[in-house]
Amino acid sequence: MNNVFEPKRFGNYLLHDLKNAKDNYLYSFIITAGLPVLTFILVELLGMIFNKNHNFVEYPLAVQIVSVIAAVTSAMIVFPIKQYGQITDKRYGSSWVMLPASGFEKWLSLIIMTCVVLPVCLFTVYLGLDWLMSVVAPGLYPKSLASYETVREIQNALNGEDVSFNAMSLGWLSWVENILTFTLGAVFFKKSKFPKTLLCVMAFGIILSFISMACIGTGHIGTDNVEELFKEFSNGDPETAMRRFKTLVNIIACACVAVLAGGIYLRITSIKH
């Protein structure tokens, strides 16, 4: 028996993880992914109550945008806690540790679930419902988020006319970064997982800003070398600057993801009960 990876065992484990996700997260998922429908009903109900004519009201674009942000944020926070937060619980955690699959397999399954399965399911169902609403209630519900124009508009808003950022991959990378942060918090802290994670992220930001301030204060980074640095970086050409900037952002994001994923691996393979 291979003690690190066996395809069949990993397949079983992934299925087991999926089943657990269904048991632990299905209701929350339905509410989260169903937000287009739920918020629409809410808006219409409120409209009927507060509108003197008692007729249907138009669903505001702002609500549509707030709701998608809410869905993404809540999924990133709630799913890791419901699905993997339990492994710090003695009762659940000990049977989870004792399940005969390797630490690597359990970790890989966690990564796939949080970084691929959840976003794919969430966006498919969410955007599907969003699209359905725009078809069912035209005139009342705004254009679907997934429609070609909307994507273009968002892309344009993000990048300006010239440079075409890959919104999908950037979005996914930031999803991965964020959900892994909350997952690490979920498997690391025994109680108050979310507040503690948030505090840690904030503390980390403060420390970073202190370090950069200290660098500036002590003259390690001054106005001169920033200019020089920027010149060297941009090569005097805005397009190169943008390209290099994107590469830098990607490298930093990937490094963050690697650190987070590594932290999760270390935690779940060494947890004791």
Partner 1 sequence: MVIIKNLAFSYGSKEVLKNISMNLESGKIYGLLGENGVGKTTLLTLLAGLKNTQSGSIDIDGRNPFRREPSLLADQYYLPDEVSPVHSKAIAWAKSAGKFWPNFSLEKFLQIMKEFEVDENQMMNTMSNGQLKKTYISFGLACGTRYLYMDEPTNGLDIPSKAQFRSAIMKYTGDESTIVISTHQVRDLENVIDPIIILDKQDVLLNASIEEISDKLYFDYGTTLNPSSLYTEQLPGGFIQVYQNVEKKDSKVNIEALFNAVHKNKELVKGIFSHE
Cβ closer to partner 1: 6 or 177?
6
80-139 residues near partner 1, rule: CB under 8 A:
86, 89-92, 94-95, 97-103
Candidate segments 12-20, 50-58, 112-120, 181-189, binder of partner 1 by CB under 8 A: 12-20
Total of residues contacting partner 1 (CB under 8 A):
29
Q: How far is the CB of 129 from partner 1 (least distance, A)?
A: 25
**Dihedral, CA of residue 7, residue 9, residue 15 and residue 21, to nearest 10:** -110
Q: How far is the CB of 83 from partner 1 (least distance, A)?
A: 11
**237 lies in the binding site for partner 1 (CB under 8 A):** no
The rounded distance, in Å, linking the Cα atoms of 233 and 272 is 47
Q: State which residue, 6 or 44, has the beta carbon closest to partner 1.
A: 6
Instruction: Determine, following the binding rule CB under 8 A, whether residue 7 of this chain makes contact with partner 1.
Output: no
**Do 122 and 33 touch, CB atoms closer than 8 A?**
yes
Q: How far, in Å, CA of 44 to CA of 51, rounded?
A: 10
Identify whether the C-beta of residue 271 lies closer than 8 Å to the C-beta of residue 93. yes
Nearest distance from residue 38's CB to partner 1, in Å?
23
Dist CA 144 CA 253 (whole Å)? 30
* 15 lies in the binding site for partner 1 (CB under 8 A): yes
Our CB check for partner 1 shows the closer of 43 and 101 to be: 101
SS3 annotation, 204-246: HHHHHHHHHHHHHHCCCCCHHHHHHHHHHHHCCCHHHHHHHHH
Q: Contact at 8 Å (CB) between 94 and 273?
A: yes
Using CB under 8 A, which residues numbered 28 to 87 contact partner 1?
86
Q: How far is the CB of 221 from partner 1 (least distance, A)?
A: 45
Measured distance CA(42)–CA(40) in Å, rounded = 5
Q: Which residue has the tokens 């002590």?
A: 218
Q: How far is the CB of 261 from partner 1 (least distance, A)?
A: 19
Question: What is the token pair recorded at 34?
Answer: 């169903």
**Subset of residues 242 to 271 that bind partner 1, contact rule: CB under 8 A:** 269
Q: Does 191 bind partner 1 (CB under 8 A)?
A: no
DSSP 140: T
Among 143, 244, 246, 273, binds partner 1 (CB under 8 A): 273
Binding stretches for partner 1 (CB under 8 A): 1, 3, 6, 9, 12-13, 15-16, 19-20, 23-24, 86, 89-92, 94-95, 97-103, 269, 272-273
